[in-house]
Structure 1
Amino acid sequence: MAIIAGSVLAISGLAVGAGFAGQAAAATQARVSATSELADSTGLHREQLSAYSAVAKAHVDNTASTTLNEANQVIAASQNKVDASSLAAVASSLASYEVLPLDEITSLTAQTKAETAAVSAATAEADRAAAEAVAAAAAQAAAAEAARAQTLAAGNTPAGARATAQAMASSQYGWGSDQFSCLNQLWQKESEWKFDAVNSNGGATGIPQALPGNKMATAGSDWATNATTQIAWGLGYIKASSYGTPCAAWSHSQANNWY
């Protein structure tokens, strides 16, 4: 009976062993079949499949690296212009591409490219708007300067200077038309109301014929080119002098040929 039992156990063991061997053979055959199918689908020989995987990984990594570099450049260019936080976040994830699975690298690369394009477009629009604003400010400044130059040119004519002097004499000193009549005759005699008049004999300068001309700098640094500045100085000079009024200054000029 013991011999029979031992025989049964031996036979059972052989059967189990044969079962395991069969399963291993089936798994091996499955792997062989899968490898064959992959080889057939790629057109590569079995020994080339590992090299193919390495090439695919290198290609995906290279694309990720290029995409990441472009993203970082766009992020730098967008500083203080547009919000690039979404791009920065996905680029940060892609920065780990060397240790990520291929499908995840591919997905992150696509997201990074899309965000890069969006931020790049927004930055370009911001740059365009900024350039337009600078151009508009420059145009406005140029227009203001042109208007100032036009006003200055008009005020520097004898007629313009007379109008300015009459207005300033009235508003600042309370001198009416009678006093302006005297002032008109006085400065007509002195300079013909020309802001650039210079007396060749003594060097007296400008509409009021200040001597020396740079005395008028107390009224403004543009005294040599601005009739209004010269008028402001001349009216102040008459008021502060012993004359006190244009008519008194005119009377002195008629009597002494100077004032």
Structure 2
Amino acid sequence: MIASARSAVRVPLEGKRVSRISARGFAVASATAVTTVGAVVGVAGGGAAVASNDNVEATASDSTLLADIPAGQQAQVQTASLAQQADAQSAQASAAAKKAAEEAARLKAAQDARAKKDAAVKGKADKDKADKADKEAKARDLETQSASRASSRSTFQVQSSYSVSDVQAIARQIIPADQFQCFSNIVNKESSWNYTASNGAAYGLVQALPGSKMSSAGSDWQTNPATQIKWGLNYMNGRYGSPCGAWSFWLTHQSY
């Protein structure tokens, strides 16, 4: 009679088998199945519920197979398995999204840094270009002014000799007022306003080397201080931007 009861109880247990379900993943479900089967067997036999050797077993290995689970429990086990798979996939997707966001942020930071560097380089180049154009414009203005003043030398009365005060008066008519002191400082250092001063091949107020360079300003470069002043002003403007630029260089090098 007991055997028949056991046989009757085992019939509902036959059903779909869950293949290779991890013992760790479904320990609770397996324990529930064991308890249920034991209880049914015990009741059918008229005694206490005892789990038979046919009950479900689980091992610590992920590859261990679980025993047959009642059909009612199978649905719970399958639902838990799907939920775990969904959680694992969600975690993987979140990790991938986080990694992609970090990589995008790194690339954006690199692009921003490169753009900032390029803008700085371009800004400096534009500034240098503007400064150069401004300097050239000022040099042209100075040349125009000096040429205008130099043209007045034809009104200077030619003399057989010139005193220091005569030469300085001529210079004031040719040199721009804001540049005169710098020009005067150089002439003081080079010739002490002596338009016939010579030092080897160097000659004149500004000690042109050789003195014959001043012929570009006039053939009377040896005797006319106005010609020497005109040449000296053009030289300082062309090489240093102005007499004050030439004086600044002279202070550092004691020559220009």
Same fold (TM over 0.5): no
Where is the helix percentage greater, Structure 1 or Structure 2? 1
Q: TM-score range by the shorter chain?
A: 0.3 to 0.5
- Relative contact order: is structure 1 or structure 2 higher (C-alpha 8 Å, sep ≥ 6)? 2
What is the TM-score with the length of structure 1 in the denominator?
A: 0.37
